[in-house]
Chain A
Amino acid sequence: MANAYTPGLKVTAASIISKKRRLPILGEVLVQKGSKVSPETPVAKAYIPGNPQSINVANILGCEAEDIENYMKKKAGDTIAKDEVLASSKSFFGLFKTECKSPVAGTVEHVSEITGQVIIRGPAVPIVINAYVTGTVTEIIDREGVTVETKGAFIQGIFGVGGEREGVLKMISQNHDEVLDGPAITADCKDKILVGGSLMTGAAIKKAAAVGARGIVAGGIIDKDLVDYLGFDIGVAITGHEDIPLSLIVTEGFGKIPMANKTFDLLKSLEGMTASINGATQIRAGVMRPEIIVPNEAAVVHESTVDLEGNLDAGTVIRCIREPYFGQIAEIVDLPPELFVIETGAKVRIMHVKLRTGEVVVVPRANVELIEE
């Protein structure tokens, strides 16, 4: 075997990007095929059944469950206002009256003579899915959603937090290994997506949130800074639903790691343009990586020159993604076919790579990543 393949992250200046925008339950599609949409355009809508409230009427009235029908003032299917009497009973020859009022407005859905429970359903809750990116609706998925297609730059990060956001890209760091720290962030960063170099510090995140920035993209982040900012530790690699005012995307990993030149230069070339970003990350089958999409009608899309499976050969530039060369960019020298015993004692397939320092070192093939174009 003269070559190997490894998954990589996409970093491309021009490509056709398709985003499926789906409702969580069946609903209604609000746009037509061919419609031009912007990130805020609603494309599909559904109603989730309202919140149910259970009230044990039998317990409140102090009667047997099987008797509650006798005391109900409302029947299944009736609407009821908040604090309206749902059921009442009289005792001691009518001298004492006990009332059960509805704690919410809604519809009486179920009256149980077995448990004495009454379920009141609140009004249905609308959910709206928007287009997320500027583009064209190319597919209607009946009652479920749409596919929106756009042309432009597409950059995948390695890890992120926070959901979908939109804003103008603004370079804060001028170099791919520069640290993005708090003082560099000023009031004019409001509503912007900020780009740093090797690291976004904890102070930078706080300052960006304070001035109203929409997101930060940088090479790395310190684990503790992330935990401090979120207020909780992330145990499982599913993110995107954090209740935070801005989304964070790292392109390389945890620690201070210079952003790959190619990624940094591309972002720099896109400064001033509007980007849609999503920090959502899921690392399992069907890996979902955070993304930065910059629609650009003028972009010229070329056929991909890299195999979809990411074939590696001598001369290919890769990134080392594990210690002891973590984060370093290198060029493949050769890919010996035989197994090689590494320091741990494991026999694995390796490659010889030349680091930027000129040193040629051994790296397991599993520990490198290709930056796809």
Chain B
Amino acid sequence: MAHEVKREAITREINSIIATDCGSTTTKAILIEKIDGAYRLIDRGESPTTVEAPFEDVTAGVRNAVHELEELVGRIFLGPDGVVTPRQPDGTGVDIYLSTSSAGGGLQMMVAGVVKSMTAESAQRAALGAGAIVMDVISIDDGRKAYEKIQRIRQLRPDMILLSGGIDGGTITHVVEIAELISAAEPKPRLGIGFQLPIIYAGNKEARKYITDILEKKVDLRIVDNLRPVLESENLGPAREEIHNLFMEHVMAQAPGYNKLMQWTEVPIMPTPGAVGKIIQTCAAEYNIHIIGVDIGGATTDVFSVFGDDHEYFNRTVSANLGMSYSICNVLLETGVDNIMRWVPFEIEEADLRNRIRNKMIRPTTIPQTLDELVIEQAVSREALRLSFIHHKSLATGLKGVQKVRDISEAFDTSSSSDTIINLMDLGMIVGSGGVLSHAPRRQQTALMMLDSFQLEGFTELTVDSIFMTPQLGVLSEVLPKAAAEVFDRDCLIFLGTAICPVGNAQKDGEKCVTVKATMPNGEVITKEVAYGSLATIPLGEAEYAEVEVMPSGNFDMGKGRGRSISKKVRGGVAGGIIIDARGRRPFTLPTDKNTRITKLFEWFKALDIYSMDVLERYMKTSK
């Protein structure tokens, strides 16, 4: 599913590219060049984003980031009017410059629909897929009284509202009622004092006249095709396209310096999460697998997924207040101290833990210097990722309101009781990005954080975005898909390994769980029996493949049924190669007894060699 905004593929010869991502805190620039016929990442530069005071000009940060690139590669890319394009005969400049942006709070939207689980949910998917943060979802059946809805609309100052409701030809009363509430609230946009708030109407086409009568004089009304024309299908494209247009016209045009930046770029600036979603979709199609991408930032955690036989189910969710700095205290608030401490193999006073987490919030750019600080930070990240994934699964569902025919086997299948389309057993790859995953001191830490938070099942390739360049590659893939795919494959993704996670549980630790027979690239056969409650690895290099036969014991399933063997060619990686997780699934539980839990954690950390165990033991001893 391609992004709908009009960015046309470029056919002229492009040999050098600069792409920037203006994030909320940092502006990152990458230089890509064609070497021996293939596009490769040459270098990257970064600098603080300058949207806010005292600079109030995003191009200052872009200039600084590109200037760092200039220093690193010893060439000139900048001229008085920005990044010089095309590349000049004297070598100055590049052939094309592109950018994404989430600075200044990104794209903040409110969505409204008639029924919470139907049109409102479709509207939410349209907004999230376009790269927005959804501030609230208003619907007739959301449990709030009319005056409460009006108050809420008045209180929030979104960048735009997406209004939907009703199938084409259906009842118009309810969607008109929502429009009346919006009109009564007289909402104002976040940016641009004195400007009218853009509202996109993507509902029942029969109601357009009434919606126009009610809203036209008060807001900047745009009308597009119904995003749920019939109950059985969504048509999110036109709404997403209009969101992107308005993002450029209103949000970007109001943000300091963006008018200038828009003149520098040949291709429209894309919201960062929209660009990441695009590359995740490209990746799913390229590798022909189901995929989950996660980006854990300081303020938010975005989760993307692509499932379906034809990769037709693309979903993105943003957990707006689950992050590792700005909103780190909200992770603590939502999950509780106990859930964080269950991942920590030493004791710490609750008051001390809370003060440390608060201090990370108020000084977000600091890094853990001591191992205990790192372990705590990674424990918090496990919970932020876990909660974000629960949120994602709840929204990545099939269309509700559609009658389904279930056969007898589905009726008895307890695992499909939820409507989520996320089936971890079918997942082929998980891509992690964001500081805590991309910059973990050891890659094994990233692998274990993802295993613990997502509770992966069956076979899953674990990967991480090496330097967080997926946004730039996302916008690049719109105009130069070959360049984006080549850089993504060769320079962006780091393969950590393939996880083998049998689903099921045994009575007690130590019972037989799984036997893995791996035929290594040199022909050697390694057989490993892994007991329930354990983690183990079979080393296999990043670019190496092995044929594995996985033989689960009677209580465990690798996708073919309990106790049934399965064979597969798997890829290795830098974080252990083949990682066999026999700790149990559905559910995975940590021991409730404190000492047993600490012993198990230590054992798992040791098995994957994730920390310096001598140092960790020191903290364990001092905390006793």
Contacts and interface: CB of A to CB of B under 8 A. Distances in A.
Q: Please determine whether chains A and B interact with each other in the same assembly.
A: yes
Interface stretch (A71-79, A264-272, A322-330): A322-330
Contact of A115 (B104, B173, B330): B173
B368 interface: yes
B363 interface: yes
A344 interface: yes
A68 B325 CA distance: 54
A346 B441 contact: yes
A121 B321 CA distance: 34
Nearest to B22: A285
A314 interface: no
A243 interface: no
A109 to B, nearest CB: 7
B38 interface: no
Interface residues of A, number: 58
Interface in B346-385: 351, 354-356, 358-359, 361-374
B173 A285 contact: no
Interface stretch (A85-93, A177-185, A211-219, A362-370): A362-370
A260 to B, nearest CB: 14
Contacts of A285: 24-25, 49, 51-52, 103-105
B369 A322 contact: yes
B617 interface: no
Nearest to A121: B184
Interface residues of B, number: 65
A41 interface: no
Contacts of A121: 184
Contacts of B333: 233, 235
**Considering residues B103, B193, B354, B442, which has the most beta carbons from chain A within 10 angstroms of its beta carbon?**
B193
Nearest to B53: A286
Nearest to B23: A285
A54 B180 contact: yes
B545 interface: no
Given A115-B177, A237-B327, A285-B25, A255 B355 contact: yes
Contact of A54 (B150, B193, B299, B365): B150
A346 B367 contact: yes
A119 B367 CA distance: 54
**Considering residues A49, A236, A347, which has the most beta carbons from chain B within 10 angstroms of its beta carbon?**
A236
Interface string A22-64: 1111100000000000000000000001011110000000000
A253 B496 CA distance: 37
A114 B172 contact: yes
Given A284-B24, A363-B369, A254 B355 contact: yes
B147 interface: yes
Nearest to B365: A366
A247 to B, nearest CB: 16
Interface in B566-624: 611-612, 615
A344 B183 contact: no
Given A159-B362, A253-B362, A224 B146 contact: no
A17 to B, nearest CB: 13
Interface in B13-70: 24-25, 49, 51-53
Given A25-B188, A115-B176, A343-B369, A284 B355 contact: no
Nearest to A309: B48
A121 B183 CA distance: 11
A344 B193 contact: no
Contacts of A52: 150, 184-186
Contact of B299 (A143, A144, A284, A369): A284
A166 B355 CA distance: 29
Contact of B25 (A51, A284, A324, A343): A284
Interface string B272-299: 0000000000000000000000000011
A283 B326 contact: yes
Interface in A277-319: 281, 283-287
A236 B300 CA distance: 11
A367 B183 contact: no
Nearest to B55: A286
B363 A222 contact: no
B334 interface: yes
- A interface, by DSSP: helix, strand, loop or mixed? loop
Interface string B139-169: 0000000110010000000000000000000
Nearest to A325: B369
A147 interface: no
B172 A53 contact: no
B329 A237 contact: yes
**Considering residues A117, A285, A369, which has the most beta carbons from chain B within 10 angstroms of its beta carbon?**
A285
B354 to A, nearest CB: 4
B5 interface: no
B614 to A, nearest CB: 11
B62 to A, nearest CB: 14
Contact of A343 (B147, B358, B371): B371
A114 B211 CA distance: 11
A22 B194 CA distance: 13
Contacts of A253: 355, 358-359, 362-363
B188 A54 contact: no
Nearest to A347: B441
Contacts of B370: 323-324, 343-344
Contact of A110 (B184, B362, B367, B368): B184
A224 B334 CA distance: 16
A99 B499 CA distance: 70
A158 interface: yes
A112 interface: yes
Interface string B238-261: 000000000000000000000000
A235 B355 contact: no
Given A224-B351, A284-B25, A322 B373 contact: yes
Contacts of B368: 322, 344, 346
Nearest to A7: B365
A174 to B, nearest CB: 25
Given A26-B194, A367-B369, A110 B49 contact: no
A283 B324 CA distance: 12
A120 B391 CA distance: 38
A324 B374 CA distance: 12
Contacts of B104: 285-286
A206 to B, nearest CB: 18
A67 to B, nearest CB: 14
Nearest to B439: A346
A24 B359 contact: no
Contacts of B174: 115
Given A321-B363, A322-B359, A283 B173 contact: no
B194 A119 contact: no
B51 A26 contact: no
A286 B332 CA distance: 24
Nearest to B358: A254
Contacts of A53: 147
A187 interface: no
Contacts of B424: none
B214 interface: yes
Contacts of B172: 114
A348 B402 CA distance: 54
A236 B354 contact: no
Contacts of A345: 441-442, 611-612
Interface of B: 24-25, 49, 51-53, 103-105, 146-147, 150, 172-174, 176-177, 180-181, 183-186, 188, 193-194, 210, 214, 298-299, 321, 325-327, 329-330, 332-334, 351, 354-356, 358-359, 361-374, 439, 441-442, 611-612, 615
Given A115-B173, A235-B321, A322-B368, 5 more contacts: A254-B354, A284-B299, A287-B52, A322-B369, A344-B368
7 contacts: A54-B184, A112-B214, A223-B351, A284-B25, A284-B326, A347-B441, A366-B365
